[in-house]
Amino acid sequence: MKHTAPTARLRRALPSDAAELTQLRLVMLASAGVVPPKPWSLECERWFADRLAGDQRFAAFVIDAGVGRLLSCAVGQYTDRMPRPGQGPYVGHIASVATDPGHRRQGHARLVVAAVHNWLTASGCGQINLTASPEAAALYRSLGYANVASPAPLTWSAP
């Protein structure tokens, strides 16, 4: 009998995926030159598990290799927005898009980002924001994301 390798498939993440989602987030952060201290990984894992277990405004989509390993992920969450003509009641945000370096350029990021986008729009998001790395900008543009000229987004961060 011939043994075939499991096929990678797109699915919504479960609380049991928290450790693998944390590992992929570490891959994403490393690509930006960020190396968190060790205790941070446990904090991140708990955060993912808590949200995946009960936050209806949070979802992650993954490419599952079928062997207890995730190859790619993207997460989405949304919040209420003030009423605005022609816009849905929520604003969404896509984050933590990451693909294992050994499995890049296979369309995995496109699949997980599209799944999160579709989930956010189905949830009532009239606007979805994300932060693109220079390497990923072309992917997001091909999915309809663009720089908005006005009003210019400004961000404050604690020092």
Q: What is the pLDDT of residues 108-135, one digit of tens each?
A: 999 999 999 999 999 999 889 988 888 8
Pinpoint the alpha helices (H) of the chain: 18-31, 38-54, 108-122, 137-142
User: Are the CB atoms for 124 and 89 separated by under 8 Å?
Assistant: yes
Residue at 74: amino acid letter: A
Residue 47, pLDDT score: 97
**Is 13 within 8 Å of 52 (Cβ atoms)?**
yes
Q: Is 87 left (phi over 0), alpha (psi -120 to 50) or beta?
A: beta
Residue pointed to by tokens 């009003």: 151
Residue type for position 21 = L
Q: What is the pTM of this model?
A: 0.88
Nearest to 10 by CA among 76, 60, 78: 60
Q: Over 90: is that where the pLDDT of 99 sits? A: yes
pLDDT tier for residue 153 given thresholds of 50, 70 and 90: low
Note whether 143 and 111 are within 8 A (CB): no
pLDDT confidence tier of residue 3, bands split at 50, 70 and 90: very low
CB burial class (10 A; 0-12, 13-18, 19+) of residue 99?
A: buried
Nearest of 7, 24, 19, 115 to residue 67 by alpha carbon: 7
pLDDT at 2: 46
Structural domains of the chain, with CATH: 9-142 (3.40.630.30)
